[in-house]
Amino acid sequence: IFFTKLPKTAFCWWQKDSLYLARTAGLPLNEIANCSRAFLANQRRERRYLPERTTFRRPGLRLFADVINVPPSLEFHSDALFPLVQLTGVQRTTKGKIVGMDAATLTYDTLRFGEFEDFPETPEPVWILGKEYSALTEKDEILSDVTTRLWFTYRKNFPPIGGTGPTSDTGWGCMLRCGQMILGEALVCRHLGRDWRWAKGRKQREEYVSILNAFIDKKDSYYSIHQIAQMGVGEGKPIGQWYGPNTVAQVLKKLAVFDTWSRLVVHVAMDNTVIIEEIKRLCMPWLDLAGPCDQPAGAEELNGCLEGACALAEEETALWKPLVLLIPLRLGLSDINEAYIDTLKQCFMLPQSLGVIGGKPNSAHYFIGYVGEELIYLDPHTTQPAVEPCEDGQVPDETYHCQHPPCRMHICELDPSIAVGFFCRTEDEFDDWCMRIRRLTCKRGGLPMFELVDSQPAHMVSIDALNLTPDFSDSDRLERFFDSEDEEFEILSL
């Protein structure tokens, strides 16, 4: 039977219309992927059922699993998502005799078949968040860059959300984790720089540890799953409900107000429109755009303080708060409009790029680049134990970095509901971003994904008309403006 063809440490079975896999330590996921792909093809061909209870024997182990047969009408797709779960039980054996019985101890996880394949040998450039690489000569550099990115996944056994809520976000928190990843990239750029690289086993900088602590799964971390889930209640999303990219962007915007260390401005551009005047008013609150560009009264003393021993970054000395710009978009109805594809690719080439979050229920991803017609992404659908900081303040960080080749998917498979992110550390970087976006708009062949304007169009609601304080009381008023991610319409720039 099929089990005899699996690697020695692998095991699989059917349950509730899904193929479940289990593995012990040491089995590469790509080996399971290859076996599973062959098994699916065989099941399609022979409509074979598995027994309701299966025993899988290997030297030193006897594994048990309950099986529920799959209806023969079920269709299998090579890109379908199959979670790894624990077995019913594990018996340790010596010379065929049982010497111990353990509870199931195998790994919770998920995978997409073939996702861990290496980059193709192609002369086409690989773009990762504004950096260009060659797949022929710079594979180590590509993997180093990908591994450096913060990888937030499902976690289990963390403190209950809200005191009595769930202790795992498996099955519902993938978009929340993608939101953590795109904001985590912004914090890395803010405090460490885009060229900083993570290395396994190396003592990390204090700024890096502080960034990780902002995402630890506990209620008092700035951007923890607890904070995002509870703030989402104010956006009309009960704890445990799947989020769309727009809702996550709105929640991150509210949470950033409390982060006095990073002092970010998280701006969510609505209605497919980025308003320069609005952003500069947020990032330079002293600036009076309605009058002369002179400094307001008292600014001289403030600058004097900043130029002293405050040790602030240069852009903050000039009274510019680093900008995280998130733009929720709908690039089609049920599928992405191919007219947007070239423009989307160009976004990954911008030096200010934070990537893209997107997907649909149960399959959200964090897209960080592309090669050819394939998007490169980090997948949050892996359940890992929650992490506790060490007594010395360090954070066990290996599970926060994806140390295998990243996942890829054809760009046409992208769900049209996305949010694009950019980071502008200084006003000059924002001005440069505006210039690059305007150049993209002038190019032929691609359709602009959003509009860049100097001042607010007359038909738009002013941001000042809404009370955008981090308070649940504004959720009803925000809902009509910010909860459009599921509307099936498409805005075309003519």
| 10 token code pair | 């692998």
Catalytic residue ranges? 174, 379, 381
The Cα–Cα gap between 104 and 61 comes to 12
Distance (Å) of CA 346 to CA 167, 437, 454: 39, 9, 22
Phi, psi of 406 (to 5 degrees): -70, 165
* DSSP one-letter code for 336: B
DSSP collapsed to 3 states, 179-198: HHHHHHHHHHHHHCCCCCCC
Long-range contacts of 169-172 (CB under 8 A, 24+ apart): 169/225, 169/229, 170/108, 170/383, 171/362, 172/240, 172/241, 172/242
Closest CA to 248 of 265, 227, 264: 227
Cα dihedral sign, 240-175-493-437: positive
Three-class SS of residue 330? strand
The Cα–Cα gap between 439 and 41 comes to 47
233 contacts: CB under 8 Å, gap ≥ 6? 239, 472
Do residues 231 and 255 lie in contact, with contact meaning Cβ atoms separated by under 8 Å? yes
